[in-house]
Amino acid sequence: MEMLYEGKAKKVYSTDTKNVLRIEYKNSATAFNGVKKDIIEGKGILNNLFSSFFFTMLAEKNIQSHFIKKISDTEQLVTAVTIIPLEVIVRNVAAGTLAKRIGKEEGFIMKKPIIELCYKNDELGDPILNDDHIEILELATPIELKVIKIKALQINDVLKEYFENHHIDLIDFKLEFGKTADGIILLADEISPDTCRLWDSTTKQKFDKDVFRRDIAPLRETYQALADKLGIS
């Protein structure tokens, strides 16, 4: 089947079924807008595993996503959506770019989860946007943005509780949403340690892509250790 799109971490193919696409998770790891890159054997399998697991868990809590089913080690079928070019970041604890922006140490616990919206645009370096920017750029309507924010916080509640039960702090994560042919807003892209910050609740050991970004530990072994900790296989 025809490849429709190749991103940094996934390839998207058409299928014989209308409005259904096949996604293949790749072994490439990138950071800093593609400046740092590597091929990591087994990464695609692990991220397909994580993403399929989290999308299934969310569906069980009545939070629908584009995910239909996992069809192989590295592939899943999804509902076709037009991706809204926003990175929707939910943060429970300050880390990464937020810690820098507000002048706090990584690990600063915030009294409520916060949402940041970034323009998904590599050329511009994914700049942070406010609701007015989003409206004038027509990336989403105010009502769509409201829906996106409500869904993002619901997803945070589900994921945070799940990780807490496995002795892991959900520090922050990035979501993407898309619009179906009928105009319904669906959670899309992936949920994996590539898109989340996950720290051991006691030791604060990192179980996410920061180990690659910051050269802390080997990525595949770290993701495998996370899968083992969560009992996902």
Binding site for ligand 5GP (CB under 6 A): 87, 89, 95-98, 126, 172-174, 194-197, 209
Strands 3-6 and 10-14: antiparallel
Identity of the residue, 67 or 199, whose beta carbon is nearer to ligand 5GP in the bound complex? 199
Identity of the residue, 81 or 89, whose beta carbon is nearer to ligand 5GP in the bound complex? 89
Closest distance of CB 121 from ligand 5GP, Å: 11
Identity of the residue, 16 or 215, whose beta carbon is nearer to ligand 5GP in the bound complex? 215
Identity of the residue, 127 or 183, whose beta carbon is nearer to ligand 5GP in the bound complex? 127
Closest-approach residue to ligand 5GP (CB): 96
Closest distance of CB 1 from ligand 5GP, Å: 25
Closest distance of CB 97 from ligand 5GP, Å: 4
Closest distance of CB 31 from ligand 5GP, Å: 8
Closest distance of CB 214 from ligand 5GP, Å: 11
Identity of the residue, 151 or 197, whose beta carbon is nearer to ligand 5GP in the bound complex? 197
CA angle centred on 42, ends 36 and 43, rounded to 5°: 45
